[in-house]
Amino acid sequence: MTNKRVIVVGAGPVGLVAAVALAAEGIPVTIVESQIEVVDDLRASTFHPPTLSFLDRFGVTGKLIEQGLHAHHWQFRDRKQGEIATFDLSVLSNDTPHPYRLQCEQWKLTRLLRDRLDASPDTKIIYGLRALEVEQTANDATLIAEREDGTRERITGSYIIGADGARSNIRKSIGVNFEGITHPELYLTLSTTFPYEEHLPNLSKIAYISDPDEWLVLLRTPNVWRVLFPTDPAVGDDVMLAPETVEKRLQAVVPAKARYDIVHKTAYRVFERVCDHYFVGRVLLAGDAAHLNNPLGGMGMNGGIHDAVNLAEKLIEVWRGADPALFGRYERQRRKVALETVQAVSLRNRQIMNTREPAARAAYFDEMRRTASDPTKSRAYLLRSSMIQSLRDLESVE
Ligand SMILES: Cc1cc2nc3c(=O)[nH]c(=O)nc-3n(C[C@H](O)[C@H](O)[C@H](O)COP(=O)(O)OP(=O)(O)OC[C@H]3O[C@@H](n4cnc5c(N)ncnc54)[C@H](O)[C@@H]3O)c2cc1C
C-alpha cells in the first residue's frame, strides 16, 4: 500500500462522510474500524436540512429519505397542558431544498456510506483493528493499532483523521484538552411500538415535553417512538432499566391497558465538551472525537457531519498544494460552531426542559408561543435550530 493516502479512524457517520468526500476527489483512503462491521446501535435519528443537502452531494439523501420519515413540524408541549407551540419548517422553503427534519436512524446512513466506499477502488475499510496511538514526522503520520488477538500493526499515510468517537484514542494521543462538563443526570431512551399519536392530541413527530417533575422527549422513527427521560444515576442500571421501572414511567405519561412493548432501552452519560485544538500537525479530529453535547436539539451527529465536510474540503485543497495552515481555519470555523451553536442551543434546550419554577416555565412557554406564531421570528429561530445559520456564519471566520 502506498503511504500517500488519508487514514480515517472510525467508521461512524463522521469518518465515513469524510472518507466518501475524499474518495470522490480521487484521494486514496484507508478506514480503520475497531468493530467487525459498521455499528448499528440506535443513536441519532434526526437529520437537519443542511446535513441532507451535504449528503445529496454523495448521492445518499434520496436513499435515506426512502428509509425515513419527514417531520415537517416539531413542537414544544407541557405534560399536563398539551401543545404549547408548534414550529413549521416550511418557513425555511426559500432557505433549503429540505425544509423538514428527516427522522431516520444513523445506522441507515452508515450502511449507505459503507456500500458506496466498498464500490470505490482506492478505498479500503479495515475492520477489527483498534487504533491505539499516532506518531508523526514532517512528511507523514503513522497509526499504531491492535487486532483482537493483541497483534500490532502500523499504517502510515499522509494525514490521519480521528473520527473515533467520544472516547477517541486519537484525541488522547495528540494530547489536546477536552474541557467541559458532565451533566449530573443520565439520559434514558426507550423505544416502543405504542401509538402515542393516537393518544396525545396534535402530536408532532418530534415533541419536547416539559414538566416540573419529569420532562421527556418523544421522537418518531419509521417503526417506533423513542422516549427520552432524564434519570438519576444513583438509581443504578439494574433498577432504572428493570421492566417494572420502565413500565411505570411509560404508564405515567400515557396510561395504557396493555403493557408497553419495549423494543430497545439504553441509559447514557451526557457531556458538554469541546477540544481546545482540532488538529496537531498531520492529525485532525472531527465529530464526537472533537466535541460532545447533550442530544436535546439533535446536533451531535449533524454537527459532526458538517465537520467532516468542512475538513474534507480543506484536506483536498492541501492535498493539491494549498498551505496546511488552512487546517487552522477548519479549527476556527468548526470550534466556533461547536461552542456557539451546538453547545449553546443544546444547553439552552436543557435549561428550558429542566426549569421547575412556575413563573420561569410560563415565561418560556410565552416566548415559544410568540416565536412560533411570528413568521419572521420563527424563521430566524428555525435557521439556528436547523443548523443553517451556523453554516452561513462560517464565511466570516478567517
Ligand atoms: C441515544 C443517543 C441519541 C442521539 N441522537 C442524536 C440525534 O438525533 N441527532 C444527532 O445529530 N446526534 C445524536 N446523537 C449523537 C450522535 O449519535 C453522535 O454525535 C454521532 O454518533 C457521532 O458520530 P461519530 O462518527 O463522530 O462517532 P461514532 O458514531 O461514535 O463513531 C465512532 C466509530 O469509531 C469506532 N472506534 C471507536 N474507537 C476506535 C478505535 N480506537 N479504533 C478504531 N475505531 C474506533 C467506533 O466503533 C465507531 O464505529 C445521539 C447520541 C445518543 C447516544
Q: DSSP readout, 141-187? A: EEEEEEETTS-EEEEEESEEEE---TT-HHHHHHT--EEEEEEEEEE
Q: For residue 169, which atom of ligand 1 is closest to its CA?
A: 41
- Single out the residue of 182, 377, 189 nearest to residue 298, CA to CA: 189
Question: How far away, in angstroms, is 23 Cα from ligand 1 center?
Answer: 21
Cα–ligand 1 centroid distance for 388 (angstroms) = 22
Ligand 1 centre distance from Cα of residue 307 (Å) = 14
Domain boundaries, the chain: 6-72+97-179+272-353
Q: Which atom of ligand 1 is nearest to the CA of 268?
A: 53
The separation between the first and the last C-alpha atoms of the chain, rounded to the nearest angstrom, is 37
CA 232 to ligand 1 centroid distance, Å: 23
* Residue 51 pLDDT: 98
Chain centroid to Cα 116, Å, comes to 21
Buried/exposed 172-185: b ≥16 CB within 10 Å, e otherwise: bbbebebeeeebee
255, 131 Cβ separation under 8 angstroms:
no
Measuring from each residue's beta carbon to the nearest atom of ligand 1, which residues come in under 6 Å? 9-15, 32-35, 39, 43-46, 106, 130-131, 163-165, 169, 189, 268, 287-289, 295, 298-302, 304
Identify residue 117 by its one-letter amino acid code.
Answer: L
What's the confidence (pLDDT) of residue 42?
A: 86
Between the CA of residue 192 and those of 68, 220, 247, 373, what are the distances in Å? 17, 10, 11, 32
Radius of gyration of the chain, Cα coordinates, nearest whole angstrom: 21
Query: Selecting from 3.90.1150.10, 3.50.50.60, 3.10.25.10, 3.40.640.10, what CATH number does the domain 6-72+97-179+272-353 have?
Result: 3.50.50.60
Q: Which regions of the chain are under pLDDT 50? A: 1
Nearest CA to ligand 1 atom 15: 300
- Asked whether the CA dihedral 79, 82, 85, 88 is positive or negative, the reply is positive
Going by alpha carbons, the residue nearest to atom 52 of ligand 1 is: 43
- Ligand 1 centre from 273 Cα, in Å? 15
Report which secondary-structure segment, H or E, holds 347: helix 344-354
The DSSP call for residue 274 is: E
- Measure 167 CA to ligand 1 centroid, in angstroms: 10
By three-state DSSP, how is residue 222 classified? coil
Res 2: pLDDT: 57
Q: What's this model's pTM, rounded to 2 decimal places?
A: 0.97
For ligand 1, atom 37, name the residue with the nearest CA: 164
